[in-house]
Amino acid sequence: MSESPQHHGQWSSRIAFIIAASGSAIGLGNIWKFPYLLGENGGGAFVLVYIACVIGIGLPIMMAETMIGRRGQRSPIHTMTVLAKEAKATPLWQIAGWLGVLAGFLILSYYSVIAGWSMAYLFKMVGGFMDQVGPEEAQQVFMDLKAAADVQLVWHSLFMALTTAILMKGLTEGIERVTRVMIPSLFLMLLALDVYAATTPGFWEGMTFLFKPDFSKITPDSLLIAMGQAFFSLGLGMGSIMIYGAYLPKNVSIGRSSVIVSIADTAVALMAGIAIFPVVFSNHLPPSMGPGLIFETLPLAFSHMPLGALFGSLFFLLVFFAAITSAIALIEPAIAYLIETFDYSRQKASAIACGVCWFLGLGTLGSFTGGNQWQWHGKTFFELIDFVTADVMLPLGGILIAVFAGWVMKEKVSAAELDLGRYLRYWQIGSRYIAPLAVTLILLKALGLF
């Protein structure tokens, strides 16, 4: 490992960082997962709890992770090693970096398969294959897709190839250039979909469902689900925001940027809800369909509406944009690590990391298409990877990051990097107490110990 910072480059401006970090945060988690979790966990009450989690837990950890990255200037593994040394702490802290790199890598392997579904649906919508389908047909289309290994393989491969191509181009020419176009257009498309939803008969029913809190629906379970989702959605605990922080110029305010990214991420999740639920209610469909909400319920709803094909296509294009801007962030820590450790060119590192990820994705693909006989403790390959990453590695990484930033790093170092002025105290309370405690609860819950 090199002792001096590597020259990975820097973001060209503060805005470039904010857009790229928003690209990492805004993903399938906002558009696919948040709406169905909300649908299953009581609507408005869940929204409130979720926002509290973003502010109380997500924000301090996001600042901590960005700050650690910028201080270290390297891939998460090397950053943690160097900063542990600086703080005269045990080198074992590099485990937090390893957790991050590995989790991002594993998540991308299945993320790509699901992103592939969104591409398949985009194709179906544009091609008019979803016009006037009935409920059984819509269900059948989704089941057929999940059963077709060859079709999924094509989309998964295409998605990974596009991700690799962007990453090979590097920071400015690749990541910045793509996110700069995709993230603002994603906002605009979502806005158009929200306006469209406002013209549908189910609009008020959808809004009431989204924003009217029913506190009787808040259970310890939904609390923990909201916490876990805030974590995943902000893209914390897996080195992505740490590596993006490593490319951040010294003069940019971490506090202000983190607040903007958190607001953007939450706004997109809510805007996705506003786009989806009125359309679902207009067609008298159930809001609590689970993971099938955007792939089964929504296409069915669009297929019966005026201009439905157009807005349906727009929707899946948006999902694709959200997914690919997150995918590049998920694998960037691994790429930076390969470049630093083996002195690979960016092209070579991207090809290797993405290639291995593509290969791992075949396991997920197989677990949807008949390979589900292979199970470990009752979980398919996909469920296992999802569980190990989202429920174990991510919270663990988050706890380690919060504790390291709040307790291990010298206060004068973190205070200087964060430059929060009188808000520093709030950050310290969040990163020292609230975040580690709350995330420990998520972890214990996931492991069935609580």
- Binding residues for ligand PFF, rule: CB under 6 A, are 24-25, 27-30, 104, 232-233, 235, 238, 240, 326, 329-330
Residue 329 beta carbon to ligand PFF: minimum distance, rounded to whole angstroms: 4
Write the DSSP symbol of residue 248: S
Q: Minimum distance from CB of 322 to ligand PFF (Å)?
A: 7
Q: Which is nearer to ligand PFF, 21 or 309 (CB)?
A: 21
> How far is it, in rounded angstroms, from Cα 278 to Cα 442?
32
Q: How far, in Å, are 5, 20, 179, 269, 412 from residue 182 at the CA level? A: 30, 10, 5, 16, 38
CB of 108 to ligand PFF, least distance (A): 9
| Cβ atoms of 296 and 130 closer than 8 Å | no
In a 13 Å sphere around the CA of 186, the CA atoms on its Cβ side amount to 32
Please say which residue, 27 or 39, places its beta carbon nearer to ligand PFF: 27
User: What string of H, E and C letters represents the secondary structure of 131-168?
Assistant: CCCCHHHHHHHHHHHHHCHHHHHHHHHHHHHHHHHHHH
Query: Which pair of structure tokens corresponds to residue 397?
Result: 């990484």
**Comparison of 37 and 384: residue with beta carbon closer to ligand PFF:** 37
Q: Which is nearer to ligand PFF, 29 or 202 (CB)?
A: 29
Closest approach, Cβ 27 to ligand PFF, in A, equals 2
> Is residue 243 within 8 Å of residue 104, measured between CB atoms?
no
What distances in angstroms separate CA 187 from CA 51, 115, 250, 363, one per listed residue?
A: 20, 18, 28, 33
User: Least distance from C-beta 450 to ligand PFF, angstroms?
Assistant: 24
Which amino acid type is present at position 330?
L
d(CA 273, CA 36): 9
Q: Which is nearer to ligand PFF, 65 or 417 (CB)?
A: 65
CB of 386 to ligand PFF, least distance (A): 12
CA distance 106 to 91: 24
Give me the least distance between CB of 78 and ligand PFF, in Å please. Answer: 18
Question: Which residue, 194 or 265, is less far from ligand PFF as judged by CB?
Answer: 265
CA separation (Å) from 335 to 105, 144, 171, 351?
10, 35, 12, 9
- 354 near 164, Cβ under 8 Å? yes
Q: How far is the CB of 201 from ligand PFF (least distance, A)?
A: 30
The CA distance from 421 to 252, in Å, is 14
Residue with smaller CB distance to ligand PFF, 112 or 233: 233
By beta-carbon proximity to ligand PFF, the closer residue of 126 and 392 is 392
